[in-house]
């Protein structure tokens, strides 16, 4: 499967977005183009929105191959980088609407934490929402999406490529809200 011209154009536009640049304590330093922030190994802000249905199933989606980080991986949260002029909550609402077509839902804030791996350094805010309506996938970023019982998600992450940053958000969420389920992560 190769990248579509639409995905490539979206990636170029995404890399040019002005992103909030912060220090190790999440103090705003200014804004930088996304690609420069990544290339210089500086710290940005990210949001993670775990979308559940009323049955308690979690929406997981597969990222397109054009994504700069974790292309083709499965993801347990919608989300992305906080733009220069946004709050975490504004970014979360925008990302949920863009990626999954979900808007007008109450976002519940859960956690604020630091995440780092070889591809990114982020201050993160995690949210959750409940949605039983249809999903409208952003074709430039999302290949497919489905709601799964948490037990199935926890099984899949052991054998399929899932994004480690959103798994960190899910693990922290489950420690508080998931009881024994969190022990499997």
The answer to whether 99 is a known ligand-binding residue is yes
The burial of 172, by beta-carbon neighbours within 10 Å (0-12 exposed, 13-18 middle, 19 or more buried), is given as buried
Q: How long is the chain?
A: 185
Q: Are strands 43-52 and 120-130 parallel, antiparallel or unpaired?
A: parallel
- Tell me the C-alpha to C-alpha distance, in Å, between residue 160 and each of 1, 136, 151, 156: 18, 24, 14, 6
- Rounded Cα distance, 162 and 103, in Å: 25
Structure tokens at 148: 């799964």
Does 98 show up as a binding residue in the annotation?
no
Beta bridge partners, 124, equal 46, 113
How many Cβ atoms are within 10 Å of 90's Cβ, its own excluded?
A: 13
Detail the residues annotated as belonging to a binding site for Mg(2+): 95, 99
Detail the residues annotated as belonging to a binding site: 95, 99
């Amino acid at each position: 499967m190769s990248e579509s011209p639409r995905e490539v154009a979206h990636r170029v536009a995404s890399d040019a977005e002005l992103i909030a640049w912060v220090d190790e304590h999440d103090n705003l330093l200014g804004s930088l183009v996304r690609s420069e922030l990544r290339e210089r190994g500086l710290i940005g802000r990210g949001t993670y929105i775990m979308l559940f249905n009323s049955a308690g199933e979690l929406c997981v989606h597969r990222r397109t191959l054009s994504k700069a980080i974790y292309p083709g991986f499965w993801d347990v949260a919608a989300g992305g980088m906080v733009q220069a002029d946004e709050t975490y909550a504004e970014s979360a609402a925008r990302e949920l609407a863009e990626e999954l077509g979900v808007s007008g839902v109450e976002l519940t804030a859960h956690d604020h934490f630091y995440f780092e791996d070889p591809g990114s350094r982020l201050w993160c805010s995690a949210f959750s929402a409940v949605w039983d309506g249809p999903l409208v996938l952003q074709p430039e970023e999302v290949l497919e999406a489905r709601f799964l019982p948490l037990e199935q998600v926890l099984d899949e992450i052991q054998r399929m490529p899932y994004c480690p940053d959103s798994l960190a958000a899910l693990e922290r969420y489950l420690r508080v809200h998931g009881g024994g389920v969190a022990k499997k992560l």
